[in-house]
Structure 1
Amino acid sequence: MPARSASHRLRIGRWAEPNRIYLLTANTLEREPVFRDYGLGRIVIHQFRAIEKCGIADSLAFVVMPDHFHWLIQLHRGSLGQLMCQVKSLSVRGVNEKSGRTGSLWQQGYHDRALRREENLVKLARYVVANPLRAGLVKRFGDYPLWDAIWV
C-alpha cells in the first residue's frame, strides 16, 4: 500500500484532549540520518522549546535520534496535527537553511500514543531518553547530546 494511504489512515479517529499526555514520534524521509549532525538536531529541539513557550504543550521528555524523534508532551491547547505541522515545517526550514539542503525532511504523518493516567511517566521518559544507549550510539546515558527530561 502506498505511504500516502497509510499516512491518511493514521489520521482516522485521531483526537487530542487538552491536558492529556502523548508520546509523539516522527521519522525523517527515507529514515535519512540527518541528525547525526547534532547542530541540525538542535534545530528540532528549538522547535520543541518554542511550542512550550507558546503554551501549546509542555515537553516532559524527548530524544532526537539520527533519523527520528520521540517527544513526550502534555498538550494544553490545539490539536496534535497543528502541533506536529508547526514543529515539522519550522524545523525543515531551519535544517535546510543551515545545511544547504532542499525539499522535504520528514515522512508524512507521525505516530501518537495517548497515555493512560496510571502509566508510569518517569519510566516512559527514561525509556525515551535511553534510546541512544539501546541503539549503540553511546556507551553511557549522558553522553548523547540531543535529549532532555524533566525527571532525569
Structure 2
Amino acid sequence: MTELKHAHRLRTGRYSEPGQIYLLTAVVLNRQPLFHDFKSGRLVVDALKTAEQEGFATSLAWVVMPDHFHWLIELQNIQLPSLMARTKSRIAVTLNRSAGRQGPVWQHGYHDRAIRKEEDLQAVARYIVANPLRAGLVERVGDYPLWDAIWL
C-alpha cells in the first residue's frame, strides 16, 4: 500500500522535454514476477519497440526484469506521462490477453530521471543492462536475453 500512498510524489515537478534523455522505470503491481519467462518479457520489448516506431522515443538501452523494466530513452514527440501510459497499457493488454488473465499489471506511476548532459550515457546503459547480473539471475550479462543497448 505504500506505493499507492506516495504515488502522487512521482508526478510532482515532472517535466517533459523533447530531445531530453530519461531513465524510466515501471514496476509490476505487488512486484509479481510477470515477466519471468522469455515470452512474457518479449511483450515488454515489443511495446518499447512500438513506441520507437511511432516516433515517441529513441531507445538507447533497456532491460526487462521479472517484475519491472528500465528504459533509457531520448524523448521525441510526446509527453512522458503519455508515453508511459501508452506503453504500460499496451503491455498490460497484451500480457492479459496472452496469459488469459485479467486485472491491473502495473503499480501506479513510474520513476523517471532526466540524464544530465555531462553524465556518461554508456555508463548508465551498462548499469541498466547489468541489472540481471546484480539480481543474481545470471552469471554473465550476455546470458540474459531481455536487454539491449545501442553501444553494446
Structure 2 match to 1:150: 150
List gaps (5 residues or longer) in structure 2.
none
For residues 68 and 2 of structure 2, the distance between their equivalents in structure 1, rounded to whole angstroms, comes to 20
Helix, strand or coil at the partner of 2:138: coil
Helix, strand or coil at the partner of 2:6: helix
Paired residue type of 2:7: S
State how many pairs are aligned.
152
Q: CA deviation at 1:2?
A: 5.1
For residues 25 and 109 of structure 2, the distance between their equivalents in structure 1, rounded to whole angstroms, comes to 9
For residues 3 and 138 of structure 1, the distance between their equivalents in structure 2, rounded to whole angstroms, comes to 28
Q: If the length of structure 2 is used for normalisation, what is the TM-score? A: 0.97
For residues 22 and 106 of structure 1, the distance between their equivalents in structure 2, rounded to whole angstroms, comes to 20
Structure 2 match to 1:95: 95
Q: CA deviation at 1:9?
A: 1.9
Structure 2 match to 1:19: 19
For residues 148 and 4 of structure 1, the distance between their equivalents in structure 2, rounded to whole angstroms, comes to 31
Identity of aligned residues (%): 57
Residues 25-72 of structure 1: CA distance to partner in whole angstroms, max 9, x if unpaired?
010000001111211110011010001011111000000000000000
For residues 60 and 82 of structure 2, the distance between their equivalents in structure 1, rounded to whole angstroms, comes to 19
Extract structure 1 runs of 4+ deviating beyond 2 A: 1-5
Structure 1 match to 2:104: 104
Correspondence 1:97-136 to 2 at 5 A: 97-136=97-136
List gaps (5 residues or longer) in structure 1.
none
For residues 10 and 36 of structure 2, the distance between their equivalents in structure 1, rounded to whole angstroms, comes to 28
